[in-house]
Amino acid sequence: MSTAAAKTFLLSPSIHKSPNPKTSKPSRFSSLRIQSSSSSSQQTLTQTFTTTPAKTRVKILSEALPFIQSFRGKTVVVKYGGAPMKSEALQASVIADLVLLSCIGLHIVFVHGGGPEINHWLNRLGIQSSFLNGLRVTDASTMEIVSMVLVGKVNKHLVGLINKAGATAVGLCGTDGRIFTAVPSPHADQLGFVGEIASVDTSVLEPLVKGGYIPVIASVAADGTGQSYNINADTAAGELAAALGAEKLLLLTDVAGILEDKDDPGSLVKEIDVGGVRRMMDDGKIAGGMIPKVSCCVKALGKGVKTASIIDGRLDHSLLLEILTDEGAGTMITGFLPNGLVS
């Protein structure tokens, strides 16, 4: 599907609200009315589609069919962060994309952090934030706030938005069902309660995913003693994608993707394999905050994830653009061949 056609389709009013297949009867759109699937509002939305003629919508849907067929029944892990967490409009776009992808048969797993919200509450409580190599230094007081904000506030807010949009989400954190078992970071003396993932257990998640639910997972986990740790959300998403045998890992970011020239926003690399990524890292073309994201993708690909994409979360409907078009919305990294060699 071309980018222009995709944007026409994605920005059409018809894409933002879809009936709940469990409760709505099939209907034709002759009345140009759609019944909202949100049980909280229960209001009828009247929409006109004069900006996108019916034949155009049908043509675009038919062009999307190969992409839908390719991903239907497959698991896609999405790491949510960056720009969409700071903008209500972008947040609504991400939620709408998740619900649509779920409706057409993709198994979505949604992993999130919550840096901006954590900063907000630490500031309100007079607790100073500090970072080391891009990781939040997390003492006992900060860890308590991180848990409360990620698990109690951000997670439940996202669950509510997804449910309101017509899908059914289940809120969890890494501690629930021992999804993640954490160990202290090797730099714990400097970082405090920042953890790494020692193991992943998907037994709680698999029935939810197969049942059509969207698990929403906060990046907090505990060790064997019950001590909580702050886990990098990119790392959590990558490890989970590998454990679930995901078809695709998607990391939403504040940048266009991997750039051939990090100072030139127009030098986006649309697709690259693991070998190419390693050469760019050796040449210093991938640096700074992009290194951990790329490393997370490479590690996930090495554990069996088919493709990983670093996508521009500043774009409306970036998830749909990445999955349902050939243009994408960032950089797609392809992985390893069955013999262990890079593709």
**Which residues belong to the active site?**
79, 82, 115, 234, 293
* φ, ψ of residue 11 in degrees (nearest 5): -90, -5
92: helix, strand or coil: helix
Q: Helices H, strands E: what count in the chain?
A: 12, 16
The answer to whether 215 touches 151, Cβ cutoff 8 Å, is no
- Closest by CA position to 299, among listed 234, 342, 238, 231: 238
Q: How far is CA 130 from CA 42, 57, 123, 138, in A?
A: 45, 49, 12, 8
The answer to whether 143 touches 228, Cβ cutoff 8 Å, is yes
Helix axes 115-124, 140-147, angle to 10 degrees: 120
Tokens of 66: 């190969």
263: helix, strand or coil: coil
E strands along the chain, which residues?
33-35, 44-46, 75-80, 107-112, 131-132, 135-136, 169-173, 180-184, 194-200, 214-218, 220-222, 228-231, 248-253, 271-273, 307-312, 330-334
Question: How far is 201 from 79, CA to CA, in rounded Å?
Answer: 18
In this structure, which amino acid lies at residue 286? I
- Closest by CA position to 96, among listed 155, 2, 10: 10
Tokens of 29: 């759109």
The answer to whether 142 touches 127, Cβ cutoff 8 Å, is yes
What is the b/e burial string over 103-125, where b = at least 16 CB atoms within 10 angstroms of the residue's CB?
Answer: beebbbbbbbbbbebbeeebeee
What does DSSP say about strands 330-334 and 307-312: parallel, antiparallel, or unpaired?
A: antiparallel
